[in-house]
Structure formats: C-alpha cells, structure tokens
Chain A
Amino acid sequence: MGSEFAMAVEMGLIYGIIAIGIMLTFRIINFADMTCDGSFVFGGCVASILVKNGLSPAIGCAAAFIAGAAAGWVTALLHSRYKITDILAGILVAFMLYSINLRLLGGMPNITLEGSCLGNFGLLVTAMAAVLLIGYLLNTDFGLALRAIGHNSCLAKASGINVAAMMALALALSNGLIGLGGAFFCLTQSFCDVGSGIGTLIVAMASLIIGERILPFRSPTVAAASCVVGSVIYRILVGFALHGNDGIFRSSDFNLITGVLIVAIMAIGRKKKCFP
C-alpha cells in the first residue's frame, strides 16, 4: 500500500503540472485547447530520445518544454492566422503530432529507457516552481492582460493589446508545461509510448475541477496550487477505487471511474447561473 501511495503522489505531481497548463488555456484565456494529448507525448518522446542518446534528464526536460511550447504556438497560429476554431486547431495539431512522435521513436510504437532517471524530489520542486511562477505571472500587469484576452477580447484590442501574440504566448506556456509533464511521465516510468497521450486532457481536467472545488479562491497562486492538490487527490481516489477493494474494479475501468468522478463533481458543485 505504501508504494501505491507514493506512486499516486508521483503521478499526482506530474499531472498537476499538466493541470496548470490546462488551467492556463481553459480557465485563464478561455481557449478550449485540445493540443494537450499530442504535446504530452511529444514532450515525452523528445525527452526520452535525448536521454537514451546519453544526454542528462534535465536537458531532456528542457527540450520537452520547448517542444510542447512549439506545438502550442502552432495551434495558436492556426487559430489566429487561419481562423480555424480553437477546438479543431488543437485536434489537428495533436493529430499531426502522432506521426511526428512515431518518427521520433524511430518508427517503433514505444521504447524503454534504462533505469529510472528522475527522482521524486525533482518532481516536487518543479511542481512548486510551476505553481509559484504561474501564480506570480498572473498577478502582474502582464498577467492581467493575459486574463483579459479570453474574457473580453474587444476591450483588450481597444486597450492596445496584441491579442494574437498573447494567445500564442499563453498556448506556448501551457503546452510547454504539458510537454514537461510528458517528459516527467516517460522518465519516471522509463518507458515511452506513442499512445500514452490519450485521455491526458480528461485526467488533467479532472484534477483541475477537483482542485477548484477544494480551493475555490480567485487568487491565481492558490488556483495553480489547487491544480496540483486536486491532481494528487484524484490519483489517490482512483488508486483507492482500483486497488483498495478486492477485485470489484479492474485497471481497465480507469476511464469509466474518471468519467463518473468528473460528472459527479460537476453535478455536485455546479455554480448558480448568473444573469447577464
């Protein structure tokens, strides 16, 4: 049980970082970004390949961040330059990334790394750094502008904000964090699979929503922290559902449990409708 708990916390931290990325797009700039499932694996593949070729995990993670950011930037470009809707732009990029990821892994569906390359301490520090950094950023004049573009782009434009550039920046930052999460995922598991991205968005969303219900405060730092807290709690809940009882659920029931959990939380804590 102890190792399962440690495992849940580890996964919680990794997906907490991803949930912060999701918060940036879905909550802060109001952009339904579906790039996530692709940029997660993209980051993982980039880091895995670099580490397998003898580079240090830190460099692998930095490269994964940049790779994810590039993916997010492309999504933003598709949306603002070619007027493709936010959802479709993200799905397109994730779809195309699948081929790129396969090429990165040399045509194989998965690769194995030798030994675990990343400690839990590094994970904890990174998650905390992400929380503090995003929290600080959103509390600045610059962050205020970032928050404005999603909620009143008309006023943002009239206030001299370059909406397209801001959106690109937010999407790059978001997907950079998601790519970083993917790198952590692969390096801690010592395994990288092109299919591992499916459902990343839903899992991160679950973490985000749980966090919001537990810590319903407007402060950006608290909001970012709540993503990580929510993610850890989510992992513990799911771990308990899967392993805590004797054989009612199988590990293949993960998706079903997650879905039911999200619906339940949304149904319980739904906000009262506000009149315009």
Chain B
Amino acid sequence: MLSIENITIQLNGQRKILNHLNLSVAAGEFVVIVGANGAGKSTLFNVISGTIKPTHGRVLIDGKSDNFAQVSRVFQDPRVGTIGNFTIFENMAFAFCRHRRRHMIPFYGPWRQKFFKERLATLHMHLEDRPDDLVSSLSGGQRQALSLLMSVIGNQRVLLLDEITAALDPKSSREIMALANEIVQREARTCLMITHNIDHAIGCGDRLIVLGNGEIAKEFRGREKKYFSQKDLIE
C-alpha cells in the first residue's frame, strides 16, 4: 500500500533530518510512530503528503509515486488543520472536495447539509447545532476534533495523524482516540500516527516504530509491543 523507499532529507546541505529511511505499510495497517522532539516524525509526514520533496528516495502509494491525492492528514496544530475564518460548514465543504475537482456549483446543497450534520454528530460535541459559527470561535480541542473529521470525510486511503491529542484534555483525548480508532478500523484506512503518549503508543495500532536520528531505531510488532517502555524512547 504505502512504501517509503530509501528516503533522505537534507535541507540546504545541513545535517540529514531523515537518513535512508525505509518503511512499508500494508493496506489497512495502523502504525504508531514515536520519537524524541526533532526526530523527524513530522518531516516524514511532510514527505508522505508531498509537502516537501525528498533529497533522495521515493514514496509509493498503491505502487504509484507522487500519488498524494490518496493522503489526508491531521496536523499537529489544529489552527493549521482548519480554517479559522471559515464557518464549521464551510470547513466541512472545503474538506469534502479535497483532491477533487472543485466545480462552479454552490457548496451548500441540501444533501451536503444533511450529510455534514450527520458527520458532525459523531463527534458528540454539539457542533452540528452551530454550523454557521466561525471555527476560530471553537476551543482548541473542538477544532482538533473537527480537523480529524475533515481529514476522513474524503475517501483517501492513507491517513496521517500527527499528535492529534496534544491539545486535548484527558477526556476529549480519549474520545478523539476512540473516534480515530473506530474510523481506521471501520473504513480500513491505512493509518500512521505520531504520538508522545506512551499509553496510546502501546494501546493503539498493529505496529510501533521508534524514530531516532532520522532512522528507524526500533520496531515492535503486535504482541511485542508490551515490551516497549519509556526507556526505548530515552536511549
């Protein structure tokens, strides 16, 4: 499904942020990535989603390179993942057309209104009752939840989650993780998730990867994950 081949990133001839990194992810697999600050996790996501071009190597999705239309992403910062001076509804409509042709037809058709309300209701944050509120008036957690919803409203096969619970309180954080888990499982999306939360790292996903110095330092599959501990991160 997703295959990252020999990726090296070296910006302006400085030190290598990613160093000959190889990773292949099967369709429907859920991979969790951990690593110290500055280990290159977000950079890896930037490469997969096509925001930056690697110095060497390539990313194949379904066997095709530059297939970025199959990637959707939730950013680390909810202010990047949503548009503050759009309404909730406009944000949904904007996300709905991700990687599609954007036609000259009004974005607020009745079918969409109904569909968006249904999707918003799955967040249990009562956002469906205030579709015309500006997103800048939402709380950080609500914005992040909306950002997650926006990233899965299309049918992209690869989903990238970058520390999506960093801004959330424990309860919302649990809810968002449950939601993410549910979406990934129900729709069999291929998912990569970055987290600093040890519980999420052990509890979620099929595989755990520790990134260090631009390389995959350690890898735990399935059952092995319970041997993962804080020590693996600090080393």
Contacts and interface: CB of A to CB of B under 8 A. Distances in A.
Interface stretch (A85-93, A134-142, A171-179, A252-260): A134-142
B107 A140 contact: yes
A141 B81 contact: no
A160 B68 contact: yes
Contacts of B174: none
Contacts of A218: 87
Contacts, number: 70
Contacts of A243: none
A158 B73 contact: yes
A276 B82 CA distance: 13
Contacts of A276: 79
Interface string B68-111: 11000101000111111111001001110111101111111000
B136 to A, nearest CB: 6
Interface in A135-166: 136-137, 139-145, 147-148, 151-152, 154-155, 157-161
B69 A160 contact: yes
Contacts of A147: 86, 90
A274 B135 CA distance: 12
B107 A141 contact: yes
A117 to B, nearest CB: 33
B105 A141 contact: yes
A110 B85 CA distance: 44
A141 B73 contact: no
Contact of A151 (B81, B85, B87): B85
Given A139-B107, A142-B103, A155 B69 contact: no
B81 A155 contact: yes
A155 B99 contact: no
B77 to A, nearest CB: 10
Residues of B in contact with A, size category: 20 to 34
Interface in B101-129: 102-108
B104 A152 contact: no
A159 B80 contact: no
Contact of A274 (B79, B97, B106, B136): B136
A141 B97 contact: yes
Nearest to A152: B83
A222 to B, nearest CB: 14
A139 B51 contact: no
Contacts of B102: 140-142, 144-145, 161
B75 to A, nearest CB: 8
Nearest to A166: B102
Contacts of A159: 94-95, 97-99
B49 interface: yes
Interface in A190-230: 218
A140 B73 CA distance: 24
Nearest to B79: A276
A147 to B, nearest CB: 7
Nearest to A276: B79
Interface of A: 136-137, 139-145, 147-148, 151-152, 154-155, 157-161, 218, 274, 276
Given A139-B106, A159-B94, 5 more contacts: A141-B107, A147-B86, A151-B83, A151-B85, A158-B49
